[in-house]
């Protein structure tokens, strides 16, 4: 996926003209195929017609990079990995903690040429000489958990099978505490609370639903929040993810009428358009390794890893 902002030069021009000028090797037929498949979004909304665009519109274009740029997947991935890699938050011989940007998928998908977080980490470790593809006793870097494509923040990646097994166990048993910061609509009351409700995941729609009471297929979720900065229209929160279910924070805060700003699925479109962000203002900013017995990772017991100075690019 590529996100591009419409400059004043193309104000009130047809979308195909803007895209064809921006991507010189993009066939016109590919633009109209993407429209038919609703693979182009304007300000977070899917479009199926060749509409006129306005200055400042944000277009998310879900067209394979080899079609957009006329180059092969390997070249695209190598270039993207080297451009987007950033210094690790933490690294040792067992683990790698990286700060993922919003818009980057954590794992590979078969229908796209875009670089995933695992692509970037794999290249990083290859260039360091720590990972050699195809080596009999080698271990490919592996995610210990996931973040949504449009959520930024810290992701843990294992370099060894032993580290992976331990981290999966610690995460399952809530011995890795996960904290997020987000910008929400309005200001929750009280200013600090623990939310307990029930969640149902509809995999077909890629959406979850919250209930006050337990129902068949629903599982309990627990989310804690406290207000860091309060405003009338928007507020900044710290959120602790106690249970880790799909879209839990996004859906849970929306359920109490304080959805995350920029969230196209559970948020308020009017506010999202006003602040002009194309992803949810949600960042996994802190991990606390609250281990009991960490085995070979016991040296990390009590460690806190935190991202400072989160820039949501939203003024309130």
pLDDT at 111: 46
Instruction: Tokens for 124, please give them.
Output: 């990083």
∠ CA 188-244-202, nearest 5°, is: 90
| Residue of 180, 189, 150, 178 lying closest to 267 (CA atoms) | 150
Q: For the segment 280-304, what is each residue's pLDDT rounded down to a tens digit?
A: 999 999 999 999 899 999 999 999 9
Q: For the segment 173-227, what is each residue's pLDDT rounded down to a tens digit?
A: 999 999 999 999 999 999 999 999 999 999 888 899 999 999 999 999 999 999 9
Q: Are 180 and 238 in contact (CB under 8 A)?
A: yes
Q: Where are the beta strands (DSSP E) in 186-281?
A: 192-202, 207-211, 219-229, 234-241
Domains and CATH numbers, the chain: 2-69 (3.10.290.10), 73-173 (3.30.2350.10), 178-284 (3.30.2350.10)
Helix (H) or strand (E) holding 183: strand 176-185
pLDDT grade for 311, boundaries at 50, 70 and 90:
confident
Residue 124 CA to residue 80 CA, distance in Å, equals 12
Between 68 and 48, the higher pLDDT residue = 48
End-to-end Cα distance, the chain: 29
pTM of the model as a whole: 0.73
Q: How buried is residue 168: exposed, middle or buried, by Cβ count under 10 Å (0-12/13-18/19+)?
A: middle
On average, the pLDDT of the chain sits at 88
Which residue in the list 21, 148, 165, 311 is annotated as catalytic? Answer: 148
39 counts as catalytic: no
Between 169 and 105, the higher pLDDT residue = 169
pLDDT at 316 over 70: no
């Amino acid at each position: 996926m590529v996100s591009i902002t419409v400059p004043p030069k193309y104000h009130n021009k047809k979308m195909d003209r803007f895209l064809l000028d921006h991507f010189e090797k993009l066939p016109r037929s590919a633009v109209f195929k993407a429209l038919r498949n609703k693979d182009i979004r304007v300000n977070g909304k899917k479009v199926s017609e060749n509409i006129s665009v306005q200055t400042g519109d944000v277009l998310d274009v879900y067209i394979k990079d080899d079609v957009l740029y006329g180059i092969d997947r390997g070249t695209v991935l190598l270039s993207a990995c080297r451009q987007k890699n950033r210094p690790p938050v933490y690294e040792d011989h067992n683990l790698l903690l990286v700060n993922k940007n919003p818009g980057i998928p954590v794992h590979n998908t078969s229908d796209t040429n875009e670089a995933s977080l695992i692509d970037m980490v794999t290249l990083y470790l290859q260039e360091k000489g720590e990972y050699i593809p195809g080596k009999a006793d080698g271990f490919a870097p592996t995610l210990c958990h996931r973040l949504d494509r449009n959520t930024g923040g810290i992701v843990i990646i294992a370099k060894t099978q032993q580290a992976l097994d331990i981290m999966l166990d610690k995460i399952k048993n809530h011995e890795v505490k996960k904290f997020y910061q987000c910008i929400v609509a309005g200001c929750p009351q009280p200013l600090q609370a623990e939310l307990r409700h029930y969640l149902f995941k509809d995999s077909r729609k890629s959406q979850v639903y919250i209930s006050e009471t337990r129902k068949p297929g629903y599982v309990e979720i627990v989310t804690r929040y406290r207000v860091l900065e309060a405003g009338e229209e928007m507020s900044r929160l710290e959120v602790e993810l106690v249970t880790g279910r799909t879209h839990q924070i996004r859906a849970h805060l929306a359920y109490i009428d304080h959805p995350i700003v920029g969230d196209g699925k559970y948020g308020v479109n009017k506010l999202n358009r006003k602040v002009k962000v194309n992803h949810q203002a949600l960042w996994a900013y802190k991990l606390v390794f609250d281990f009991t017995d960490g085995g070979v990772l016991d040296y990390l017991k009590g460690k806190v890893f935190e991202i400072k100075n989160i820039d949501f690019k939203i003024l309130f």
